[in-house]
């Protein structure tokens, strides 16, 4: 999971600065490189104030100033959003840096959370409103930082598959292809809680295997065993050559549109064991890199799930792939690098990001597209600052080309969550065209 709930606000601020004439594209998923922090004096990282829509289903509306929600007209509410590192199976543990989970040893994953401050013994529920700034308690001790989960804040796969959001901005799903040839589709709500079995029964789905060649179709059937927290849809499709491509077509509720999700698997998915049983008073073992969380770090998500919002008229995409990773477990193509100082180096890096985007698309790693796309965006904006040395006719090429690249970078990210493979390919074609125009505008170096 590598996308941030702050994308909408970041995009709007970029537009407000006049650096890109792009439509408003918003996403609601977390990522380290998209989150913004400002360092205050002392040891407190104070995330910037954002303004969010309180209506269930409109959580993707994130603005950088007060006002009314552009979707429902309700008054926006102030909030501080941040990303924290946590255990996949124990989200009560949080850290401000990557590391290993102290309870199961797996790498920490990221979640987007809301941040507030409170005093021991004074529950937030008894306050008129949570404090959005640190302060001092009546007894003179510093307020403690509290984290609360956000809708769409946790897009981490729970069963080793590919995890994606549905176009209704409420349902989420995860598809995994497991040895010796079983596909499972897990259904979640907007807090990544498994759907109760009664709601899972409302969903109907079918799986198209090898949709681009020898097409086979399998019904996805609700598993018969287990309780309300392990309901999933399943099809036994047999062993397939890798990379295995398949397409899930899902209707989440009766009388709603069927949604399409594209999956690509480079290897069998590996399911995770159940979360370990922990007690409230159990202290986690020491970790060399992960600082333990404050008491009550992650408040429980609401127990009553909101009704899904009306689905917007946008298609959806999903993909799962096993990318090549180093010893750290991080794909080398996802590691950010500084923007160089010279135009030739910038152009070379722009082409490198272009190649990485194509690589991710080819292997179906749609969830990773945003990283090289956003890095390319930053390089393009840096090149835009160098156009003053060009003749006027070439300057007129650079400006629009940079705007197109910035726009398509955001589209590639958004379609990684809410598009289909064809939309990603179309956006990438426009991205490539913008790269070519930028390269053509700058003189070739001897």
Q: CA-to-CA distance for 4 and 26, rounded, in angstroms?
A: 10
Q: What are phi and psi of 211, to 5 degrees?
A: -65, -20
The confidence score (pLDDT) of residue 211 equals: 61
Contact 216, 203 (CB under 8 A): no
The confidence score (pLDDT) of residue 229 equals: 57
The confidence score (pLDDT) of residue 91 equals: 79
The confidence score (pLDDT) of residue 271 equals: 84
Share of the chain above pLDDT 90, in %: 25
The confidence score (pLDDT) of residue 155 equals: 82
The confidence score (pLDDT) of residue 35 equals: 33
Q: CA-to-CA distance for 21 and 7, rounded, in angstroms?
A: 16
Mean pLDDT score of the chain: 74
Tokens of 379: 């390089």
Q: CA-to-CA distance for 89 and 17, rounded, in angstroms?
A: 41
Q: Which positions ≥6 away from 297 have C-beta within 8 Å?
A: 92, 93, 94, 145, 146, 147
Helices (H), 142-251: 197-200
Of the listed ranges 191-195, 228-232, 373-377, the one predicted with least confidence: 228-232
Contact 153, 4 (CB under 8 A): no
Q: What is the 3-state secondary structure (H, E, C) of 257-296?
A: CCEEEEEEECCCCCCCCCCCCCCCCCCCCCCCCCCCCCCC
Which CATH topology does 332-441 take? 1.20.120
Of the listed ranges 29-38, 248-257, 422-431, 437-446, the one predicted with least confidence: 29-38
pLDDT over 90 at 276, yes or no: no
Q: What is the pLDDT of residues 344-368, one digit of tens each?
A: 999 999 999 999 999 988 887 787 7
Share of the chain above pLDDT 70, in %: 70
The confidence score (pLDDT) of residue 418 equals: 57
Q: Which positions ≥6 away from 43 have C-beta within 8 Å?
A: none
Contact 275, 89 (CB under 8 A): yes
Average pLDDT over residues 34-55: 58
This prediction's pTM:
0.64
Domains 162-265 and 332-441 share a fold: no
More confident residue, 249 or 70: 249
Q: Report the CATH superfamily, name and number, of domain 162-265.
A: Immunoglobulins (2.60.40.10)
More confident residue, 38 or 144: 144
Q: What is the pLDDT of residues 94-152, one digit of tens each?
A: 888 888 898 888 888 888 888 888 887 765 545 546 788 888 888 888 988 888 888 87
Domain regions of the chain by residue span:
7-149, 162-265, 332-441
Average pLDDT over residues 32-51: 50
Contact 407, 428 (CB under 8 A): no
Of the listed ranges 27-31, 47-51, 96-100, 232-236, the one predicted with least confidence: 27-31
Per the DSSP assignment, residues forming a β-bridge with 117 are 131, 145
Reported as a pLDDT band with limits 50, 70 and 90, residue 334 is: low
The confidence score (pLDDT) of residue 252 equals: 94
Helix (H/G/I), strand (E/B), else coil: 413:
helix
Q: CA-to-CA distance for 110 and 95, rounded, in angstroms?
A: 9
Q: CA-to-CA distance for 362 and 372, rounded, in angstroms?
A: 14
| Nearest by Cα to 240 from 182, 287, 188 | 182
Q: What is the pLDDT of residues 156-215, one digit of tens each?
A: 888 989 888 888 888 999 999 999 899 999 999 988 889 988 899 999 999 999 766 678
The confidence score (pLDDT) of residue 316 equals: 41
pLDDT over 70 at 335, yes or no: no
The confidence score (pLDDT) of residue 446 equals: 54
């Amino acid at each position: 999971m590598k996308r941030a709930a702050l994308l909408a606000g970041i995009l709007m601020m970029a537009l407000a600065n006049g650096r890109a004439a792009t439509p408003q594209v918003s996403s609601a998923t977390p990522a380290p490189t998209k989150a913004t922090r400002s360092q205050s004096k002392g040891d407190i990282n104070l995330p910037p104030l954002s303004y969010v829509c309180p209506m269930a289903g409109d959580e993707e509306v994130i603005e950088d100033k007060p006002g009314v929600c552009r979707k429902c007209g309700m008054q926006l509410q102030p909030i501080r959003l941040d990303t924290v590192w946590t255990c996949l199976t124990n989200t009560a543990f949080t850290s401000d840096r990557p590391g290993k989970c102290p309870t199961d040893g797996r790498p920490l994953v990221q979640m987007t959370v809301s941040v507030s401050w409170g005093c021991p013994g004074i529950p937030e529920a008894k306050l008129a409103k949570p404090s959005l700034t640190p302060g001092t308690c009546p007894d003179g001790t510093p307020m403690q930082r509290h984290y609360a989960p956000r809708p769409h804040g946790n897009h981490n796969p729970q069963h080793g598959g590919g995890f994606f959001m549905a176009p209704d901005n409420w349902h989420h799903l995860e598809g995994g292809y497991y040895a010796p040839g079983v596909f499972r589709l897990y259904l979640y709500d907007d807090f990544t809680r498994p759907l109760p079995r009664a709601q899972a029964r409302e969903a109907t789905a079918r799986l198209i295997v090898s949709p681009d060649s020898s097409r086979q179709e399998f019904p996805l059937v609700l598993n018969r065993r287990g309780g309300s927290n392990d309901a999933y849809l399943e099809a036994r499709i047999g062993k397939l050559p890798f990379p295995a491509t398949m397409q899930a077509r899902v209707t989440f509720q009766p009388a709603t549109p069927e949604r399409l999700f594209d999956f690509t698997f480079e290897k069998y998915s590996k399911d995770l064991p159940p979360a370990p049983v922990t007690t409230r008073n159990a202290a986690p073992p020491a970790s060399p890199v992960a600082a333990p969380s404050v008491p009550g770090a992650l408040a429980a998500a609401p127990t009553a799930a909101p009704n899904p919002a009306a689905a917007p008229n946008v298609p959806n995409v999903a993909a799962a792939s096993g990318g090549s990773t180093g010893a750290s477990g991080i794909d080398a193509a996802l590691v950010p690098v500084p923007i160089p100082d010279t135009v030739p180096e910038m152009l070379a890096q722009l082409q490198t990001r272009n190649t990485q985007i194509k690589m991710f698309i080819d292997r179906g790693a749609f969830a990773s597209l945003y990283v090289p796309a956003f890095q390319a965006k930053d390089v393009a904006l840096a090149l835009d600052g160098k156009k003053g040395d060009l003749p006027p006719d070439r300057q007129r090429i650079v400006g629009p080309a940079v705007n197109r690249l910035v726009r398509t970078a955001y589209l590639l990210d958004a379609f990684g969550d809410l598009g289909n493979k064809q939309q990603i390919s179309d956006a990438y074609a426009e991205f490539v065209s913008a790269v070519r125009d930028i390269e053509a505008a700058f003189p070739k170096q001897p």
